[in-house]
Structure 1
Amino acid sequence: MRPVLATAHGLVRGTADPSGTASFKNIPYAAAPTGPLRFAPPHPPVPWDGIRDAGAYGPTAPQAPYAPPMDRLLPETLIPGEDFLNLNVWTPDPAGRLPVLVWLHGGAFTNGSGSLTGYDGTAFARDGVVLVTLNYRLGAEGFLHLGPGDTVRANLGLLDQIAALEWVRDNITSFGGDPDRVTVAGQSAGAMSIGALLAMPAAKGLFRRAALQSGAAHHTLSAASAVLVAARLAAILGVPPTRPDLAAVPVERLLAAQSRLRGEIAARPDPALWGEAAFNLMPFEPVVDHDTLPRAPMDAIAEGGAAGVDVLAGWTSDEFRLFTAPSGLDGLVTGDLLERTATGYGLPPGRGVAAYRAAFPGASRGELFAQLATDWFYRVPALRLAEAQAAHGARTFVYEFAWPSPAFDGALGACHALDVPFVFGNLADPAFAPLLGDAPPPALAETMHAAWVSFATTGDPGWPAYRAPGRAVRYFADVPITAPDPRTGLRTLWDGLR
């Protein structure tokens, strides 16, 4: 018997597996962002009559495939269709009052979806957590900003996420979830989105806890930088930089222009041309527009803007090796590039590279480059977020995922995205095999998954909170341990840049 549940917009028929978990897929949380709604804030979904089939994943946001070699390493699901502002729910008991975890996918704000089989929520449901995954607008359609003359709100991708969280608030009781115990969780761009949501007035009160994997509240674009990006995108397309003109561009042509723009930034990462996008190589991401996102997220959070939200934040030990080892970039790093990278990130000339050489004796230039980028992109922002939340009395926990993948003859280390299948308890999903290798440790997955379940349920993942002077960090490796203040010297080096 396929279960039928009620939402505010109509009935949905899901599926049930032998364990008792029911899943409901492709439920619209907003209207299709096409026609007059393209490049517009999300609108409520159109109600439907009868019972809507919710047995299979629905359309995903338009996106170009990952470029090689990422296309072989990162799992991807592309389902065509216009009605892609949809979500998926897994529940063990529609009559319950269970904690809820809402997952925001990664993909550098241009790729990814909530429809990956690796994000299947069966393990969470088995352990008493209602899991929700969702799709949101990507690239220019989600993060275009044209400046003060543009009357349409920016950060449409974030507004989509907020619309999904509002759907959860209004509907999740029908699926056995407790709207007062919502954890928003995500990885990479999903975690960076959460960093922005913590500072957005429209998101206040929609979640009680936040779990941020490999992303925090650091990577945004200023309005001025976003205008530079939008102007160049329009020039590539040969149209005026206005919302109606860009909305008239066919989707496939827009995606091709986005890819070309990203290549131009990578080939010439000049801040005079691209602003902050020259450093993070992400031309489309949350924009500090002084409206939807009034202030830089870290500034708002440091002043207590997210006080009361429990936070779990962390990184993988070798994040950036995903981008350097498979591509061969690690073998091309020169001493000059290493120094320019360190100073470009703001570290003192000479001292920055010297500190990393001392912290990682015997490391190659490529490995030092990856470690610098890992810290700037992921580790340091996570620590700063944790410190800011702890300063305002929030329960805050920090972890480092340290299990090294055997793939690529061990060159990946504990790279970016490697922790995701462990959190979901989905090591057997074949999409993750290129990163995991042949024998990922199931005990580590059980331990890490249990920590996320505990955090979503109680606000405590099972180790001491992060606060001075101890600064406890949980290391997820073959033998998980908790240790104080990792790499103190490097932390204080980065702290000196504030």
Structure 2
Amino acid sequence: MILFTAVLYSLLLFAPIHGFPLGRGRGILGNPPVFHPGLLCNLPIPVVQQLLCPRQSTPSLNVLTPLGIARGAADGSNAARFAVKYASASRWQPSSLVTTWQLPNGNTDPTKLPLSCPQTGVDGSTMSEDCLSMILYVPNSVHIGSNVPTLVWIHGGTFIFGSATGPGLDGANLAVATNSIVAVIQYRLGALGFLSPSGNTNLAVKDVVNSLKFLKTVLPAFGGDTSRVTVAGQSAGASMIRALLAAPSASSYFRSAIIQSDTMDYGILSTSSQQTLQNFYNTLLTCSSADTACLNGLSIDTILNSQNDFSNNAVNYDASAGVVEPIRPSRDALITSPLDSTAPFPQVSKPLLVTSVRNEAGFTIYGGFPDGLDSATYIGAVTGAFGNQSATLLLAQPSYAIPTQVEGGTQDLRPQLQQMGNDQVWRCPSWTFTRNWVNNGGTVFAGEFMVGATYPGNEQVPFCTQAGSVCHQDDIEIVFGTVPSPTAAQAALTTEVQARYSAFLRTGNPNVSGRPNWPAASGNNVNAIQLGASGMASIGACDPSFWGAAVPYDYQTFAN
């Protein structure tokens, strides 16, 4: 050890001659080759850092990675934040990993956050096609050699909105509470991510795979264990995770997954449906699919306008597109299974957390019928959406039936329609997926959020601000610990969820001492616990003999 240390000191002293940057303080950048024992900790030799470096109470904001120096910024008093570009991509072409550490969007200031990917409804100055970036949140307690797990968060937004800087997605509190690294990533959205005129499919999914490859390279420099990576996401972010689970080539880059409020009813598009929809999109452009120069010359506004036209009319070209999320992942060489009930389910092994919230459809139903819903309109809406045969079964189901004493009356039937939408799109297909996953070798812990925090935008619908309502997205700030002025119930659930997520990141099991047991699902019983309340979630109409059998999911109805 004495000889080994002497050699290292010699290397350090002569490093300036060979171009190794030295500095003062704890970073390795700055002024002059002045010797400081702490500089040993910045040598890119893991054994040196593990054997000779003192444990640090605060992180360096300059971290040596295999791709170069990562420059970060303090995020609160207990974590550091590192924004970084993980990949580059030409328009409508597959992305490629960066080979050097770069701040996003050509920034020189590490406190700057990445611009979002192009999307409608935002200021053009806040978005860029150069958007394949992520933000790493690293607790002060974590350093090289800590070998902590990593949670990779994939934002939602129906595949056309969202970013790593969305409301509530600051990962510092979550990172500190779970003593893990949190990476919040961005991927190409809308037509730029899923509708390449030349037929390059699932570009956005491939972006996410590249983000995981990037993390595998750099995580050890921050103290992360590359064998304990969990992908997590909500809504379209959860659907993206389902696409990753259906992509065998992506499997080695993560160990487990957390799926929150996945719209599983819609399904992964078939190859033929994707081609039909791609052909339609191409007709909306003024360029031929082979004219790269013309395509590259299109303005972002032109592309987003054609994307809007596509979204408004896609269902007329292929019914499986639907009206809510026609742009989404599709079957191809990367995604080899639909992971649903329309094809043989593959053998699986990864542990999953699968959750929904109490009132997933609350924003849509109460926002769409702000003045109430009478029985005639209710019957018409169900019949129009499902057809006569399925509507008859649905209206006879206790969860959705019209109370006999008010038939023909004006009682507000929004609760029944909200529950139907909740069950159809989120809750029941997620539990069908859970049973399939367990029956084919995997482990699932299912849950339902009974307490939430009104997510920005949801306040536009008064129902979502009422006591007891938990609308779609209202789980996000609970998980991240970013609820402004939380109530006692919100604070308690945040503490519980973060403790359970911490355990899951490490062991694949969310059970922790001092908390009620969270049983794993079986092939017959999903055992979904109520998060924020005691007891188990009611199966209700999610019985396997009803949804997915008597009344098919959309992915079954439009399977081809």
Task: Mark the CA change 1:450 to 1:404 in structure 2 (over 3 Å): closer, same or farther.
Answer: closer
SS in structure 2 of the partner of residue 204 of structure 1:
helix
Q: Please state how far the C-alpha of 1:10 moved relative to its aligned partner.
A: 2.0
Aligned to 1:342: 386
Counterpart of 1:227, as a letter, is Q
> 2:110 is matched with which residue: 54, 78, 82?
54
> 1:276 and 2:320 equivalent?
yes
- How does 1:420-439 map onto structure 2 within 5 Å? 420-428=476-484
Task: Mark the CA change 1:415 to 1:325 in structure 2 (over 3 Å): closer, same or farther.
Answer: same
Distance of 1:388 and 1:491 partners within structure 2: 11
Query: Which segments of 5 or more consecutive residues in structure 1 lack a partner in the other structure?
Result: 67-75, 430-435
Contact 2:431 2:526 in 1 (8 A): no
Contact 1:324 1:330 in 2 (8 A): no
Contact 1:191 1:212 in 2 (8 A): yes
> 1:482 and 2:535 equivalent?
yes
> 1:139 and 2:190 equivalent?
yes
Distance of 1:77 and 1:311 partners within structure 2: 38
Distance of 1:243 and 1:352 partners within structure 2: 50
Distance of 2:295 and 2:341 partners within structure 1: 32
Task: Mark the CA change 1:242 to 1:389 in structure 2 (over 3 Å): closer, same or farther.
Answer: same
Counterpart of 1:323, as a letter, is T
> 2:160 is matched with which residue: 110, 121, 125?
110
Distance of 1:65 and 1:356 partners within structure 2: 41
> 1:401 and 2:449 equivalent?
yes
Distance of 1:381 and 1:77 partners within structure 2: 37
> 1:287 is matched with which residue: 310, 330, 338?
330
Contact 1:90 1:132 in 2 (8 A): yes
Aligned to 2:150: 100
Distance of 2:452 and 2:463 partners within structure 1: 7
> 1:372 is matched with which residue: 390, 395, 420?
420
Distance of 1:458 and 1:187 partners within structure 2: 21
Contact 1:145 1:287 in 2 (8 A): no
Deviations 1:369-405 (A, max 9, x none): 3322222221122112211221133221001112377
Counterpart of 2:161, as a letter, is N
Task: Mark the CA change 1:403 to 1:425 in structure 2 (over 3 Å): closer, same or farther.
Answer: same
Counterpart of 2:386, as a letter, is A
Contact 1:101 1:184 in 2 (8 A): yes
- How does 1:256-405 map onto structure 2 within 5 Å? 256-265=305-314, 269-270=315-316, 273-278=317-322, 281-289=324-332, 291-298=333-340, 303-305=345-347, 307-328=348-369, 331=372, 333-343=377-387, 348-357=390-399, 364-403=412-451
Contact 2:156 2:162 in 1 (8 A): yes
Task: Mark the CA change 1:263 to 1:172 in structure 2 (over 3 Å): closer, same or farther.
Answer: same
Distance of 1:3 and 1:391 partners within structure 2: 46
Distance of 1:211 and 1:448 partners within structure 2: 12
Aligned to 2:215: 168
The alignment's TM-score, normalised by the length of structure 1, stands at 0.83
> 1:84 and 2:131 equivalent?
yes
Counterpart of 2:82, as a letter, is F
Q: Please state how far the C-alpha of 1:468 moved relative to its aligned partner.
A: 4.2
Asked which structure has the greater CA Rg, the reply is 2
Distance of 1:240 and 1:440 partners within structure 2: 56
Distance of 1:209 and 1:329 partners within structure 2: 40
Q: Please state how far the C-alpha of 1:340 moved relative to its aligned partner.
A: 2.5
Deviations 1:327-373 (A, max 9, x none): 446846542121232349xx734012221555786984433333222
SS in structure 1 of the partner of residue 545 of structure 2:
helix
Q: Please state how far the C-alpha of 1:18 moved relative to its aligned partner.
A: 5.9
Structure 1 vs Structure 2: percent identity of aligned residues? 26
Distance of 1:77 and 1:254 partners within structure 2: 13
> 2:473 is matched with which residue: 417, 434, 452?
417
Task: Mark the CA change 1:468 to 1:44 in structure 2 (over 3 Å): closer, same or farther.
Answer: closer
Aligned to 1:466: 521
Contact 2:464 2:471 in 1 (8 A): no
May I ask how many residue pairs the two structures share in their alignment?
Answer: 461
Contact 1:470 1:484 in 2 (8 A): no
Aligned to 2:495: 446
Deviations 1:267-325 (A, max 9, x none): xx54xx223112x5222100112x121232336996334x2211000111211122232
Contact 1:217 1:381 in 2 (8 A): yes
Counterpart of 1:28, as a letter, is K
Query: Which segments of 5 or more consecutive residues in structure 2 lack a partner in the other structure?
Result: 1-25, 27-59, 512-517
Contact 1:338 1:365 in 2 (8 A): no
The alignment's TM-score, normalised by the length of structure 2, stands at 0.75
Contact 1:226 1:283 in 2 (8 A): no
Task: Mark the CA change 1:494 to 1:145 in structure 2 (over 3 Å): closer, same or farther.
Answer: farther
Distance of 1:182 and 1:23 partners within structure 2: 18
Contact 1:217 1:297 in 2 (8 A): no
Q: Please state how far the C-alpha of 1:9 moved relative to its aligned partner.
A: 2.6
Contact 1:231 1:241 in 2 (8 A): no
